[in-house]
Structure 1
Amino acid sequence: MEMKYLGLEISKLRTEMGMSQKELANNICTQSTISRIEAGEVYPAIDTLLKIALKLQVPVEYFIEMLFHKDVLESERLIKDIEFHLKEHNYKKIISIIKHNKIDSENIWLNLYLEYLLDIAHYYLKIITPEECISSLKSILDFSNQTTIQFRFLHIKISNSIANIYAENGEIPKSLYYYNKILKEHFHKNYSDHKIYETLITVLFNKCNILYELKDYEEALETANLGIKKSKETSFFFLVGQFLYYKGQCLEKMNGAITEIKEVYKQALFFFEFLELPFYISAIKQNKNKYLD
């Protein structure tokens, strides 16, 4: 049994949530017990493990897996490898990785995650139709254990993908329905794990893009401003340059003040350069050069 890995994971999740050992132990056990669990010195009782899981907002199955399976670290490496290729849109590589890695059937969350990514990869490679992909993704949402699928916000990522596919195939009302549903259910909640905001800000950006394409510039501008604000609040700056770019475009369409438009595009360029995003640096210099003097 892998006590050491369980203890390290509890410590990592607790730290990510900004929680002390004393706060985690409150109404569960003593701080000393938490310390010994994190050090891998003792096995937690099942009721203690359940309470810890609830407090750290993860399914208890995740911790149980760490106690009974030795491949937890390998699973984490697999996820990181796949997510790297996902960012590169290398869907053939994703399919190859998944096919060459046999996953224990008891690792329910990882199997759901890989099933989701296979659907996405098959869709973008045109192996399945948009309708088939959406149907499969909805099945994952509808028939999975809700505690399990909420781990690492997989349910939000799947809903966001459904919205994206609707948008890419011209079904804008359905797309906006899913974006708005996600944001309404989650955006204004006070989550202690700020990683969720990375996902929610991505949803907000996708919505902003759709609104701009619909020429609803006022609402697109409002959405862009909200994205900028939330990005700064959560220190998730990866999309702030794109939000600023959309803000500048909306102000142009709405005949905003030239001085404000210039300032917005200069801020966007600053973030593109700071984050070393050559595609966006080139695009803004080429398309908005007159505002960057």
Structure 2
Amino acid sequence: MQIGNRIKIERQKRHMSQKELAQDICSQTLISRVEKGEIGLGTDILYKISQRLGLPIQSFFNESDIADKKLFVHNQRQILAMLCGQDYLSLQAIIQTELKRTDLSELEVLFYHWVDSQLVFYIDHDHEESISQLTELLDKATAIENRKLEAFVAYSIGVIYTKINDELKATSYLKRAQLVSKKLDDFRLNVDIMYHLGRNQHLLHRNGEAIKTLTDCIDLLVAKESIYHLGEVLYERGNTLFEMGMSEDALEDMTGSQVVYRLQQNSSNVFFTKERIQRIESDLKK
């Protein structure tokens, strides 16, 4: 069956109108045209529809769909968003389907292998195999002089080493990623790298380096008028300042972090910052 028919069947099973399915995702007209088989769907829209219907995205396609290029629009940005959203099983289905295509460029193949290599860690929990695949991919990215892919892969290796508590190796790869990313116009990538690098520098007790990295990150966020990762960066700098005995400055950062989390309606992080603020205030009273 076509994707549109599947969407229609699943929608009707739930007694859901086209308008209800489309709400905050796309237009009702788009849903109508998709269900009639007039147009295909992009990865981002198909993913959101699958979430609205409470279904994994892989349930919308099978082996016979692979040859249909209208299955979904090739959209790297949305794949990155899904990776950040941690919907790893759905993402794995998309990547495995895409890798079976015969019309992919060399760069597209490398991009999909980069995502797939990370899923080895996040799904199979095999950090050695994941790092091995990513390291091989890093060499390829360097060889073809694709700086963006090189930065992404080095960053990913750094994050995995962070998650397995090897801060020294994490810092090494994150510094490499930072060196390459400085030449790229990718705001979020630069923020992600600086946040994780500063965090690892703090864990290694390289507090002076950590403060500089995190401050540079905050300056970039302020210049872009963005709160992306701002709560986390302020929290991390506040922790570092507190460890350095600069409690007043630490309190200012923690309070700022809490404000950001409240704006984001992130109740769990508001709770954590509240506890940290109370500890710092108690230290100041001594």
- TM-score tier, shorter chain, comes to 0.5 to 0.7
Shift of 1:237: 2.5
Who is 1:66 aligned against?
A: none
Q: Counterpart amino acid of 1:266?
A: T
Aligned to 2:90, the other structure's residue is in SS state helix
Of residues 133, 137, 157, the one that matches 1:162 is 157
State yes or no: 1:96 paired with 2:86: no
Of residues 136, 139, 143, the one that matches 2:136 is 139
Q: Counterpart amino acid of 1:177?
A: S
Count of residues in correspondence between the two structures? 213
TM-score relative to the length of structure 2: 0.64
Who is 2:274 aligned against?
A: 285
State yes or no: 1:205 paired with 2:195: yes
Q: Counterpart amino acid of 2:239?
A: Q
State yes or no: 1:115 paired with 2:105: no
Q: Distance in 1 between matches of 2:90 and 2:71?
A: 22
Question: Which is bigger in relative contact order (C-alpha 8 A, separation at least 6)?
Answer: 1
Q: Counterpart amino acid of 1:276?
A: Q
Shift of 1:115: 1.1
Q: Distance in 2 between matches of 1:234 and 1:246?
A: 20
Of residues 238, 242, 249, the one that matches 2:239 is 249
Q: Counterpart amino acid of 2:168?
A: P
Distance 1:280 1:132, change over 3 A: same
Q: Counterpart amino acid of 1:138?
A: T
Shift of 1:72: 11
Who is 2:59 aligned against?
A: none
Q: Distance in 1 between matches of 2:152 and 2:173?
A: 11
Gaps of 5+ in 1: 1-69
Residues 116-152 of structure 1, C-alpha deviations (whole Å, 9 max, x = no match): 111111112226x3232222112223235625x44xx
Q: Counterpart amino acid of 1:225?
A: T
Who is 1:275 aligned against?
A: 264
Distance 1:197 1:287, change over 3 A: same
Gaps of 5+ in 2: 1-68
Who is 2:39 aligned against?
A: none
Who is 2:176 aligned against?
A: 181
Q: Distance in 1 between matches of 2:85 and 2:122?
A: 13
Contact 2:261-2:267 within 8 A present in 1 as well: yes
Who is 1:75 aligned against?
A: 74
Q: Counterpart amino acid of 2:243?
A: K
State yes or no: 1:264 paired with 2:253: yes
The alignment-based identity, stated in percent, is 18
Shift of 1:238: 0.8
Residues 23-79 of structure 1, C-alpha deviations (whole Å, 9 max, x = no match): xxxxxxxxxxxxxxxxxxxxxxxxxxxxxxxxxxxxxxxxxxxxxxx7697102xx3
Aligned to 1:74, the other structure's residue is in SS state coil
Distance 1:98 1:224, change over 3 A: same
Alignment root-mean-square deviation, CA: 2.9
TM-score relative to the length of structure 1: 0.63
